[in-house]
Amino acid sequence: MDTAQDSRFAAEFDADISVEKIAEVYAEAFLNAVDAHNIAAADAAEEFESFVSILQTQPKFEAVLASEMVANEEKISLLEKTVKTRATPLFWSFLNTAARRNRLAILLPVFRKVRAELDRRENKIPVVITTAAELDSGMLNELTEKLRAVVGGEPVLRSAIDPDLLGGIVVRVGDTVYDASIFTQLKNVRQQMIDRSANEIQCRRNLFCNSEGN
C-alpha cells in the first residue's frame, strides 16, 4: 500500500463513520492486496489470526498499540522490533499502514471482517447453537447434518450454554433465529440421541444379566 493509496483511504474516512465500517474498508483492502499478489487467502488469514492471538494474550502490548497517548512512530518502531522480521511483506505493509493511520486499535474487528468474507467465499455459514447443557460430538454432528440443508451452505457451529433454556435448543444464523419447524427437527435429533443412549444402556444391562445367568 503506497502513500498515495493510503491518502485516498484517509480521505474516505469521517469521524462519524463507525468502527465496523472502517474495519470493513480495511478488511477489503487487505483481501484485495492478498488477491493482487496471488497469495493464498487462507495463509494470509492464518497470519492475521496469529497476530490477533498475540494481542489477546499480551494485553499490555495490545494496550500500547491501541493507546492514543503513544505516537504512531513509536508504535511502528515497536512493531519493527517485534513483528517485522517474522511477518510476510504484505502483512507488514498492512500493519505499517494501519499504524500510520492510527487504526491498530481496530485490528480485531478487521480480522473478523476478513474471516467473515472468507467464510462467505467458501459458503461457510456461522451458526450459534445455544442449549441448556453442553452437547457431545455425536449430537453436534447430527445437528450439522440437519442444518446443512437448512442454511444452504456448510454450517460452522459454535456452542453456547444457557441453563435457562431448560433443555431447549436455540439456533441463530446471523440475526435470524429459526422458526418452530426447525426447532422440531432439532428436537427430533435430540430425542434420537436420548433414545440411542437409552438403547445402549439397556443392551449393556441385558448383556450383564445374561452373563450373570451363565
pLDDT of 9-27, one tens digit each? 444 444 446 888 999 999 9
pLDDT band of residue 148 (cuts 50, 70, 90) is confident
Numbered ranges of CATH 3.40.30 in the chain? 123-213
Dihedral (C-alpha) 122, 29, 35, 100: value to the nearest 10 degrees?
A: -130
pLDDT at 201 over 70: no
CA distance linking residue 6 with residue 1, whole number of Å: 7
Global model pTM greater than 0.85: no
pLDDT for residue 86: 93
- Rounded to whole angstroms, what are the CA distances from 55 to 45, 62, 137? 15, 5, 31
CA distance linking residue 140 with residue 34, whole number of Å: 34
- What is the layout of strands, in order, in the sheet containing 154-161? 154-161, 124-131, 169-173, 176-177
Share of the chain above pLDDT 90, in %: 47
Classify 159 as helix, strand or coil: strand
CA distance linking residue 56 with residue 170, whole number of Å: 29
Helix (H) or strand (E) holding 129: strand 124-131
| Class of 3-119 in CATH | mainly alpha
pLDDT, tens digit, 9 for 90 and up, residues 175-191: 777 654 455 565 566 66
pLDDT for residue 17: 61
Please tell me which residue, 35 or 196, carries the higher pLDDT value: 35
What is the mean pLDDT of the segment spanning 90-100? 96
Of 3.30.70, 3.40.30, 1.20.1280, 3.10.590, the CATH number of 123-213 is 3.40.30
- Rounded to whole angstroms, what are the CA distances from 208 to 28, 198, 202, 203, 213? 62, 15, 10, 9, 9
pLDDT, tens digit, 9 for 90 and up, residues 49-67: 999 999 999 999 999 999 9
Q: Where are the alpha helices (DSSP H) in the chain?
A: 3-12, 19-36, 41-57, 59-66, 72-82, 89-100, 107-121, 137-151, 180-213
Highest average pLDDT, of 76-90, 118-132, 142-156, 162-176, comes from: 76-90
pLDDT band of residue 198 (cuts 50, 70, 90) is low
Numbered ranges of CATH 1.10.520 in the chain? 3-119
